[in-house]
Amino acid sequence: MARKDNLSTPRGTSGASGYDSDAFARWAESVARFLGTGRYLAVQTILVIIWVGINAFAWELRWDKYPFILLNLMFSTQAAYAAPLILLAANRQADRDKEDIERDRDTNARSLAETEFLARELAEVRLMLEQKADREDLVAPIEQLTQALERLHGVSLLDEPHYADED
């Protein structure tokens, strides 16, 4: 009897929650990247100047009286959310750096293995070249063969050859 239920997950779940931590981390990274730009600092500075100007000098429009408690609360809230987002972005960067380091380590290990292989191959070629017969190794045996053939046939093989057709 074949069971259709997947026993590795509880009933009623598809195995995936609706929360994608990587998507949230990417969003946090983009927010942290934006918070570190000059554009953000310029916009924030302009907004603070307008806020303080309206609340300090426009008596009819004042919604945040001096010492600007609402403005301070907004900055505190922003800082409370910005710091963890920046840390999350830093953690993502650290994870990417670790992956890069691992990739570099693997590449270096492969390069080292290939270099060692090539060094062994070169050593083998050098050994083969040392064992290769050269001219000096062949001259003495050829002279001995020539002398043995001359003794056998009673003719000098080093003289001009005599062919049967010429006689």
Q: Identify the CA nearest to 64 among candidates 45, 51, 77.
A: 51
What band does 3 get if pLDDT is binned at 50, 70 and 90? Answer: low
Residues 89/33, Cβ–Cβ less than 8 Å: yes
Decide: pTM greater than 0.85.
no
Per-residue pLDDT of 69-82, as tens digits, reads 888 888 898 888 88
pLDDT at 112: 96
The answer, yes or no, to whether the previous bond of 10 is cis (omega within 30 of 0) is: no
User: Could you please report the per-residue DSSP string of 95-143?
Assistant: HHHHHHHHHHHHHHHHHHHHHHHHHHHHHHHHHHHHHS--HHHHHHHHH
Q: How confident is the prediction for the chain on average, in pLDDT?
A: 81
